[in-house]
Amino acid sequence: MTQKAFKYRFYPTPEQETLLRRTMGCTRLVYNRALAARTQAWYEHQERVGYAETSAMLTTWKKAEDLQFLNEVSCVPLQQGLRHLQKAFSNFFAGRAQYPNFKKKHHGGSAEFTKSAFKFRDAQVFLAKDAEPLNIRWSRQLPQGSEPSTVTVRLSPAGRWTVSLLVDVEIEPLPASPNQIGIDLGITSLVALSTGEKVANPKSFAAKRRKLKRVQKALSRKQKGSNNQHKARIKVARVYAEISDSRHDFLHKLTTRLVRENQTIAVEALAVKNMVKNRKLAKSISDAAWGELVRQLEYKCDWYGRSFVKIDRWFPSSKRCGHCGHIVDKLPLDIREWDCPSCGTHHDRDINAAKNILAAGLAVSVCGANVRPDKHSL
């Protein structure tokens, strides 16, 4: 049994929008107050404040005269906000994320409702404090007989309302496939496969760059705090939404195809955070979204019973001859094709790297071989 989220657009009535905006505002207020309290406690007294203490603070805040409006919305999203803050701190202390930031109003917002704060009846969602169901556009049906355990309502910076329903589903593994591939990630070609196929990079950001520049210029001319500035900010957010939608649509279609067609998939474990420090390539690397592509491949392989292997990023996949194993000393990025000085084989840089990644991935998956160049190389 696997938990899977189904995301839909919905269109609230004016009354529902007012209630949801108030709920998100209260959730944001509680989150920011708790974050400020935890930060202050550490800097002033070197004390760690946890979820239990912030939950007690919330009870106190609800009794304050100037915060009575916290009682007018469902208490569940407020508590869930504190749980999310606790998770953010856990990730920070574990080194998986940076220190939590304060939430901002113009970034949109979200509110999470657990089972005690919503009803799912006759394929309709009723949220707490609201007698009317959400007007959801059911672009796809939920699995037969499944009921959501969590409902998350989000308002994007572009003004779009979405609802995510988290359900438990049984995902059937795909039939076994004899195919296996290695994937080399790039910029000109988003992926090069060991089969010789190259998939062009759609460059979603570059396609909308001129439009984004125009609306950002218009935003910069608006007076701060004015209604016109608010309208211009929404226009900028909508362009960013178009870029994000285009990128995610392409990646989902590509990763689904690769997982359906291949039993074993091997990729390089790239340190994207370090690579974007290169000022000349940072924008192109971010636009390519390598991290998201690898993330999608990993969880889809887990869903459908495929083998997913990550190769150490120090493995010399590009500099190694896939025919004789010779490793050249240097191979600058501007050299896209090269001849092996040992056996004379002509290589396409990306295809050769993909073939080496596949070979290393098979070795790692079978016997746990070390693929670093200074160890026992393949």
Whether 372 shows a pLDDT value over 80: the answer reads no
**Same-domain pairing of 255 and 300:** yes
189 shares its domain with 124: no
Task: Give the span between the Cα atoms of 249 and 266, in whole angstroms.
Answer: 22
Residue 89 CB coordination number (10 Å): 19
- Catalogue the active-site residues: 184, 268, 350
Q: Are 338 and 349 in contact (CB under 8 A)?
A: yes
Residue that is written with structure tokens 């100037």 in the block:
66
d(C-alpha 81, C-alpha 87), whole Å: 10
Do 18 and 44 reside in the same domain of the chain?
Answer: yes
pLDDT tens, residue by residue, 58-82? 999 999 999 999 999 999 999 999 9
In the predicted model, what is the mean pLDDT of the chain?
92
Confidence class of residue 376 from pLDDT cuts 50, 70 and 90? very low
Report the candidate in 103, 111, 125 with the shortest Cα–Cα distance to residue 19.
111
Q: To 10 degrees, what angle do helices 290-304 and 227-261 make?
A: 50
pLDDT at 273 over 90: no
Mean pLDDT within 245-266: 96
Work out the number of other CB atoms within 10 angstroms of the CB of residue 288.
Answer: 25
Residues 17 and 161 in one domain: yes
* Residue 225 located in a structural domain: no
pLDDT score of 163 more than 80: yes
Reported pTM? 0.88
Q: Give yes or no for a contact between 163 and 152, defined as CB atoms under 8 angstroms apart.
A: yes
Tally of structural domains, the chain:
2
Which residues on neighbouring strands pair with residue 346, listed in sequence order?
A: 339
Q: Cα(296)–Cα(284) distance, rounded to whole angstroms?
A: 20
143 plus 185 within the same structural domain? no
Q: Is 13 found in the same domain as 143?
A: yes
DSSP state, residue 99 = P
Based on the fold, state whether residues 268 and 359 are members of the same structural domain: yes
Would residue 361 count as lying in a domain? Answer: yes
Flag whether pLDDT at 354 surpasses 70.
yes
Q: How confident is the model at residue 378 (pLDDT cuts 50, 70, 90)?
A: very low
Does a structural domain hold residue 215?
no
pLDDT score at 352: 93
Quote the pLDDT of residue 291: 92
The DSSP H or E segment spanning 36 is helix 14-45
Domain extent for 325:
180-201+241-367
The whole-angstrom separation of Cα 151 and Cα 34 is 23
Is pLDDT at 348 greater than 60 in this prediction? yes
Q: Are residues 131 and 255 in the same domain?
A: no
Is 185 found in the same domain as 132? no
How many whole angstroms separate alpha carbon 3 and alpha carbon 168?
Answer: 4
Check whether 33 has a pLDDT greater than 90. yes
